[in-house]
Structure 1
Amino acid sequence: MASRQSFHAFGCLTFFSCILFCSYTPTFALIDVERSYIARRQLLTLRENGELPDRYEYTVKTTEKFENERLRRAFIALQAWKKAMYSDPKNITSNWFGPNVCDYKGVYCARAIDDPKLKVVAGIDLNHADIAGYFPVELGLLTDVALIHLNSNRFCGIIPDSLSKLTLMHEFDVSNNRFVGVFPRVVLSWPSVKYLDLRFNNFEGCLPPELFEKDLDALFLNDNRFTCNIPETIGKSSVSVVTFANNKFKGCIPRSIGKMSNLDEIIFSNNNLGGCFPQEIGLLHNVTIFDVSKNSFMGSLPANFSCFKKVDVLDISGNKLTGSVPEDICKLPSLSSFKFSYNYFSEEHMACIKPERKNIVVDDVGQMYRRVSTF
């Protein structure tokens, strides 16, 4: 039976085989087919969980001279990664050769936190490089890396467990790629991570409850294939920004949401969420963006929505809400955009039809209700 890693590897290789035989000239096709063959051999021999064998770096023979052992390990990791790249149309990694890894484009070095005498690879930024490939387990050798930014590439497969060795990770952005599989639990092992961006991939399944117990500042989960209920542990989260949009989450908003004291922006739009809004929502006194549009929420708006004293954007459109649109909401002091279109409200107050402040945009399209004057 093929391993989980092998299954995802086959998906990557199938996609890139089409690119190789449909897009390249015959000469380059031969080169890339050879690289693809090597990559497939590497992928299909990985451990099922993508871990890096102990003392792996000492089994790799290198003839280059390095300033220190950590740069040697980084060299091994980066060379393995380059071999796992099938396409680099902008030639970002064209200078990824030789022992001077700190000169590699997109690779950033700094002094080691635990030993300022040592220079180490501390960050990798390949945003918008359009590189296609996968993550080899050798990336687990980059133990000094605190920042990985890979927005807008074509990396696929899974996030290997070997990245658990990157214990200094602070910012991890793999958004807008083609990663698959369940939520990458390896991120839960990073003690210092603050910024986690997984949006616009093909992750699926449920979210681990432990995710919201991490001391995160920003969490982007939108535009994947996540399902299940949002864990009740969300109330323990320290995030200021979190997005759940464009997935398949179901169930209710957990009542613990009211405990999110640091919350500034939260977006639930375009999921399968439903039920009534919990009264605890009114405890989010610092929220500036609250978006629950395009779900199946029912019932009336709780009166404590008017406690959103700092809310700038409020979007409850595209649900099954009934009753009246409270006057107090349309008079919130910081409100600039209020969308409640495509619901089943029966009443709308004049404060919403003609807001007292000129800079408020109100969207009530699709409503058929009695308008109530308060003047």
Structure 2
Amino acid sequence: MAVARHGVAAVLVLAAVAVHGVLCGGSSSSHAHAEFGAGAALGRNAPSWRPRGNGTDTGAAGAPAPAPTSGYVQAGCGCGPTPPAWRFKNGKLAALYPVIQAFKKTITCDPMGVTATWEGTELCDSFFNGTRYLGFYCDYPPYAPADNISYLTVASIDFNGFGLCAPSLAGFVDQFPDLALFHANSNNFSGDVPDLTHLPYFYELDLSNNNFSGSFPETVVPLGNLTFLDLRFNRYAGTVPPPVFALTAEALFLNNNGFSGRIPDTFGSTGAQYLVVANNEFTGPIPRSIYNTSATLSEVLFLNNRLSGCLPYEVGLVEGLAVFDAGGNEIAGPIPLSFGCLRDVEELNLAGNQLYGQVPDVVCLLARTGKLANLSLSDNFFHSVGHHCMELVRSRVLDVRRNCILGFPDQRPPIECAAFYADPTKHCPFIPHIPCDLPGGHGHGGYIKPHDAAAAAAAVTGHQARHQGGGRD
């Protein structure tokens, strides 16, 4: 039986993370607790479980769990006396005790004194509102119908903000057979990411703000059931394997590392709602396959890389996009008219690039007909704005400082603008099509019907092939 996915509450939590906290080094959640079955829909920030009966471990049917027998064998960890098996609530917990104690021996710093609570046999103390074994949370995993019983066990580990130091997580996280999530934001962990593919319920991994380094952890790539992957604020480097963008994760945070190379075209295969690759060293263009994410993608952040090439027309085909941030790159060309179809976009940041031409009025019109609240186009080379854009400049929704707009304050020196427009080495084709019906029913050069994103992308490809020599508008 698979672990239940997050419901609406979890999506709202992820949205808050993506908009307000994904580029910060702090914890992305307070206390994340895994829950098996329908209770998981309540989200991972507030546990739904409560003490059951008199606090004794009971099976799923409500009957008292069988007393532990001598068959419960505990592996010694060489770290002191091991409590007798009968003192644990069940054999699952007896087997986990030496795993925790062995990991405790490897911890070299513990500023909050968390590990002092990892004593005794009450590994599931938090389940009964206790204070032993901080960071460990228990629940009843799914059970085989023939057994008609499920034993209380560690379902999630949340070390967010503990500041623990340890050279490796191998031999620890991978030894919890019923683990559903591991959160370790803001610690000092390093080493290799352990292989977790044998954990049938595992669906969330947060290793953000630690000291992991080297290439992208290859053990993460096969985790096909992930719904949440957060590797931000580490020291990973090199390319990102194409299969990473084919994971089922609803949230994928890779920002603030040293990832480089081109973003693979499998980017369009992502099912993520929130995808952040900001503050890395990615080069090349934004993949045109982004149009394939139309059914899912809500927020995407490319800012502060070294991306180049033309601003893809296909971005305008991503229905439901709420945040698009590609600031601080080397992207060139005009803003495609297709961006005027982003009716749900609230934040659009293209500042700090090499964009030019006129700011399309169809984009500025989104502040009136859509949800646009923030449009940043500063530090580019735009030469003019239309009527609706002028209104946004006056209301400070649109930032066009350091461009080439005559008569506007805080613009680039005229000689810098003249040199840019005289350089023919950078050019992008202008696509005179709007792939949606705009309010008022008028467009620029005809419509591409919006209902088939693939057909629209193919039409654009054909137009670009016919205009390879096109220059700046």
Aligned position for 1:80? 102
Q: Secondary structure at the match of 1:123?
A: strand
Offset at residue 72 of structure 1 (A): 3.0
Aligned position for 2:383? 346
Aligned position for 2:285? 252
Q: Secondary structure at the match of 1:186?
A: coil
Look up the equivalent residue of 1:130 and give its one-letter code.
G
Matches within 5 A, 1:299-310: 299-310=333-344
CA contact (8 A) 1:350 1:371 kept: no
Aligned position for 2:143? 114
Say whether residues 1:264 and 2:293 are aligned partners.
Answer: no
CA 1:58–1:133: 2 relative to 1, 3 Å: closer
Matches within 5 A, 1:1-375: 62=82, 64-65=84-85, 66-103=88-125, 104-114=133-143, 116-139=149-172, 140-161=174-195, 163-260=196-293, 261-332=295-366, 333-355=370-392, 361-370=397-406
More deviation in 98-107 or 273-282?
Answer: 98-107
Structure 2 residues without counterparts, runs of 5 or longer: 1-73, 126-132, 409-473
Look up the equivalent residue of 1:214 and give its one-letter code.
L
CA contact (8 A) 1:166 1:190 kept: no
Structure 1 Cα separation of the partners of residues 200 and 76 of structure 2: 23
TM-score, length-scaled by structure 2: 0.63
Structure 2 Cα separation of the partners of residues 87 and 60 of structure 1: 20
CA contact (8 A) 1:84 1:134 kept: yes
CA contact (8 A) 1:167 1:191 kept: no
More deviation in 139-148 or 345-354?
Answer: 345-354
Offset at residue 341 of structure 1 (A): 0.3
Structure 1 residues without counterparts, runs of 5 or longer: 1-56
Deviations 1:218-242 (A, max 9, x none): 0011000111111111111110000
Structure 2 Cα separation of the partners of residues 339 and 90 of structure 1: 42
Offset at residue 188 of structure 1 (A): 2.6
CA contact (8 A) 2:77 2:102 kept: no
Look up the equivalent residue of 2:355 and give its one-letter code.
L
Offset at residue 125 of structure 1 (A): 1.1
Q: Secondary structure at the match of 1:185?
A: coil
Aligned-pair identity in percent equals: 37
Q: Secondary structure at the match of 1:250?
A: strand
CA contact (8 A) 1:64 1:99 kept: no
Look up the equivalent residue of 1:107 and give its one-letter code.
F
Larger radius of gyration: 2
Q: Secondary structure at the match of 1:148?
A: strand
Structure 1 Cα separation of the partners of residues 84 and 93 of structure 2: 11
More helix by share: 1
CA 1:75–1:357: 2 relative to 1, 3 Å: farther
CA contact (8 A) 1:286 1:308 kept: yes
Deviations 1:265-306 (A, max 9, x none): 000000011000222111111100000000000111111011
Look up the equivalent residue of 1:134 and give its one-letter code.
P
Aligned position for 2:30? none
More strand by share: 1
Question: Root-mean-square deviation (CA), in Å?
Answer: 2.1
**Matched residue pairs, number?**
314
CA contact (8 A) 1:346 1:368 kept: yes
